[in-house]
């Protein structure tokens, strides 16, 4: 789509500084509604964004109903958002992943981190799972999919349209399938083999973002007793068992997830050293403490407790409580690996909450390592929100 004759979205005076510094988002209160009323645009309309002086800052798309009302796709105002455009972006993304990983299992596109806001693509060999979260990217779906076919040529594509963010964008939540997509996929990580559900699982079926942190865990688990909280289908726990943990206990609320976990444990011949507990994580941790259970390594990798800024107070209390319960189960000298995928919780704040939990129990805390999202989730330096995942590797000495 040629942007040469696109409508203009004009910004207020001095509201272009963030975009000039590299950011890709425009907020609704930055738009000059007298010159270019937001209400005049349909969701997903392609636009050229201009400063108050009329200088073009880039081309992208607009949604008048969203707080982030516009996103930049290209800095050149005359850009063709066609299959060729997407093919160039996908080729660049693919080149990075092929440097990082020997096998085709990775996040191929990470939204703004790959200069494709509103788009996430996870690759499982010849199957791709595509998440479109903005009205503008939905408008561009066909050229994007055409480019994906050119560059990857997947045997099947699952359009996973379940994110609540789509509702905020005025989009439907209906999934779609192109060609043939299996109900499950097979993948390998850290030498372990896994079967994961597609569509019926969590997110896109697997959490590639924790890959590096799971590898960092392995050196701490040999011969030790490990507790994996919010285990899902066993990415942490099974790799711990395969790395020589004496025993692994996995906790998750989902019956389906634990069925996959048991299957994956058997496939990796670690079933005799792994057991699963179903239930609410907070309740199970309390029960384990009441039973006098003690572990050498505890991993807590919860879902995001903070989805919006207004959730910060309650979410922080959730992280504090979770880490305190985890510490109650740690033997002297034990390791706590505490994670958060809440982009609204800064790493230093997670560290403060973990330290606060330790102090409430009168225990000393040593921080040994810090972990972040895997490099197939590249961070955009001008957009702090793209650096959302953090992990703190702690030791609680005797």
Rounded distance between C-alpha atoms, residue 339 and residue 183, angstroms: 29
The dihedral region occupied by 368, where left means phi > 0, alpha psi between -120 and 50, and beta the remainder, is alpha
Rounded distance between C-alpha atoms, residue 162 and residue 332, angstroms: 43
Contacts of 268 (CB under 8 A, 6+ apart): 192, 193, 238, 241, 242
- Give yes or no for a contact between 43 and 17, defined as CB atoms under 8 angstroms apart: no
C-alpha closest to that of 205 among 164, 237, 233, 176 = 233
- With tokens 């890709």, the residue in question is 24
Tell me the angle at which helices 83-100 and 141-151 cross, rounded to the nearest 10 degrees: 50
Q: How many CB atoms lie within 10 A of CB 177?
A: 12
Residue 119 phi/psi, 5° resolution? -135, 130
- Give yes or no for a contact between 31 and 38, defined as CB atoms under 8 angstroms apart: yes
How many Cα neighbours within 13 Å face the side chain of 368? 17
Rounded distance between C-alpha atoms, residue 21 and residue 313, angstroms: 31
Active site residues: 341
Rounded distance between C-alpha atoms, residue 250 and residue 231, angstroms: 6
Rounded distance between C-alpha atoms, residue 231 and residue 276, angstroms: 9
Contacts of 316 (CB under 8 A, 6+ apart): 305, 306, 345, 349, 353
Rounded distance between C-alpha atoms, residue 83 and residue 204, angstroms: 24
């Amino acid at each position: 789509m040629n942007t040469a004759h696109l409508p203009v979205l004009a910004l207020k005076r001095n509201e272009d500084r963030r975009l000039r510094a590299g950011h890709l988002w425009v907020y609704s209160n930055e738009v000059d509604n007298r010159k270019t009323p937001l209400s005049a645009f349909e969701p997903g309309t392609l636009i050229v964004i201009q400063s108050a002086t009329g200088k073009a800052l880039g081309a992208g798309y607009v949604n008048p109903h969203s707080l982030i009302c516009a996103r930049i796709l290209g800095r050149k105002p005359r850009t063709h958002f066609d299959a060729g455009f997407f093919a160039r972006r996908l080729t660049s993304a693919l080149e990075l992943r092929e440097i990082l990983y020997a096998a085709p299992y990775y996040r191929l596109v990470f939204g703004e981190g790959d200069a494709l806001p509103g788009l996430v693509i996870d690759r499982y060999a010849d199957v791709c799972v595509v998440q479109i979260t903005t009205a503008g990217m939905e408008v561009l779906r066909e050229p994007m999919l055409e480019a994906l076919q050119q560059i990857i040529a997947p045997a099947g594509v699952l359009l996973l349209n379940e994110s609540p963010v789509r509702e905020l964008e005025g989009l439907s939540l209906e999934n779609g399938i192109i060609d043939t997509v299996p109900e499950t996929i097979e993948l390998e990580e850290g030498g372990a083999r896994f079967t994961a559900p597609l569509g019926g699982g969590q997110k896109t079926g697997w959490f590639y973002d924790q890959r590096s942190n799971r590898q960092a865990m392995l050196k701490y688990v040999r011969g030790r007793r490990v507790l994996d909280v919010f285990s899902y289908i066993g990415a942490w726990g099974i790799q711990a068992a395969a790395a020589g943990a004496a025993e692994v206990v996995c906790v998750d609320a989902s019956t389906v997830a634990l069925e996959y976990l048991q299957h994956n444990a058997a496939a990796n011949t670690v079933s005799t050293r792994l057991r699963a507990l179903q239930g609410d994580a907070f309740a199970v941790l309390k029960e384990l403490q009441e039973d006098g259970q003690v572990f050498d390594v505890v991993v807590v990798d919860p879902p995001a407790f903070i989805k919006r800024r207004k959730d910060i107070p309650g979410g922080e209390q959730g992280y504090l409580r979770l880490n305190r319960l985890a510490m109650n189960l740690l033997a002297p000298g034990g390791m706590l690996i505490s994670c958060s995928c809440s982009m609204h919780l800064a790493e230093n704040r997670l560290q403060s909450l973990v330290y606060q939990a330790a102090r409430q129990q009168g225990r000393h805390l040593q921080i040994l390592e810090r972990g972040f999202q895997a490099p197939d989730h590249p961070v955009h330096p001008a957009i702090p929100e793209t650096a959302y995942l953090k992990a703190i590797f702690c030791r609680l000495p005797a």
